[in-house]
Structure 1
C-alpha cells in the first residue's frame, strides 16, 4: 500500500493561487469601474469598492493606489471608514436608477408582474443608497 499525501496541494501554492485570483478579480472590477465612469447608466463606485477589497487581499500597493486616487480615493475611504455615500453620489445613483427603469419600461415592454418586480428591486437599491450616511468631512462632495 502506498502512502498518499493527505493534502496534495502545497499551502504556499494555494495561497499564491488565491492571491492571484483576488488580484485578477480586482483588475476586473477596476475595468468595470472605468467602463462605468464612461457610460451614464453603469455604476462606477461599487466596482471600485469591490476592487479595493480584492486588492486588500492581494496587493497592498494597488489598494493604496485606489485609496489615494485623487478622484475616487475620498469616496472609497469614506465608504471604508463610515459606510458613507456623498449626497451628490446618492443623487446621481438614484437618478441613474430611475432613468434605467424608464429605459427598461420603454425598451422591454414588460408585463405588469415583471415591471413590479424590477421596480421593487430598484427601489430597494435606491433605499439602501439613501439610508447610508453622508461623509462628515465633505457632505456636499
Structure 2
C-alpha cells in the first residue's frame, strides 16, 4: 500500500509542476493537470491536498471542480476558447491527418463535457468576492 501512496504522490507533484509550466506555455493545459494533482494528493497526502485546496491561485480551481455548484460561465467559455486555440496551433504545427482527427475528436468531447456541466450564476461569484473583500 505504501508503494501506491508514493506513486500517487509523485504523480501529483509531477502534474502540479507540469500544470505550473502550462501557465507559461500555451500548449500545456494548466487546469486539468492541477485537478489531477488534487486527485492524486487526495489519494496520498491529506497535507498536500489541503495545501492545494487552500492555495491562493490553485485552490479556487479545485474547489470549483469539487463543489456541486458548477463553474462560472466565463471560466467555461475561456477554457473552451483557449483549448481550441491551443489545438488549432498544434494542428498547424504538426500538420498530420491522424493527429488532426485525434485533436478534433478530443476537442469535441471536452467541449461537450464542459457545455453539459452545471453553471454557477455570476451573481454568486460577486457575492463571494464581496464577502471576502468587504
The alignment's TM-score, normalised by the length of structure 2, stands at 0.78
In structure 2, distance between residues paired with 1:32 and 1:26: 10
Q: Distance in 2 between matches of 1:44 and 1:115?
A: 22
- The Cα offsets for residues 41-63 of structure 1, whole Å up to 9 and x where unpaired, read as 32111111111111111110110
Alignment of 1:1-141 (within 5 A): 15-82=1-68, 84-111=70-97, 115-136=100-121, 137-138=124-125
1:15-73 deviations in Å (ceiling 9; x for gaps): 21111111111111111111112222321111111111111111101100100112221
Question: Structure 2: where are the runs of 5+ without partners?
Answer: 130-134
User: Over the residues paired in the alignment, what is the CA RMSD in angstroms?
Assistant: 2.4
Q: Aligned pair in 2 of structure 1 residues 138, 107: CA closer, same or farther (>3 Å)?
A: same
- After TM superposition, what 4+ stretches of structure 1 lie above 4 angstroms from structure 2? none
State the alpha-carbon separation in 1 of the partners of residues 4 and 35 from structure 2.
19
- Say if 2:91 and 2:99, in contact at 8 Å, map to a contact too: no
Q: Aligned pair in 2 of structure 1 residues 16, 110: CA closer, same or farther (>3 Å)? A: closer
Distance 1:37 1:117 in 2: 24
Structure number having the greater helix percentage = 2
Show structure 1 runs of 5+ residues with no match. Answer: 1-14
Q: Is the 8 A contact 1:93 1:126 kept in 2?
A: no
Classify the secondary structure of the residue corresponding to 1:82.
Answer: coil
The structure whose Rg is larger is 1
Give the equivalent residue in structure 1 for 2:132.
none
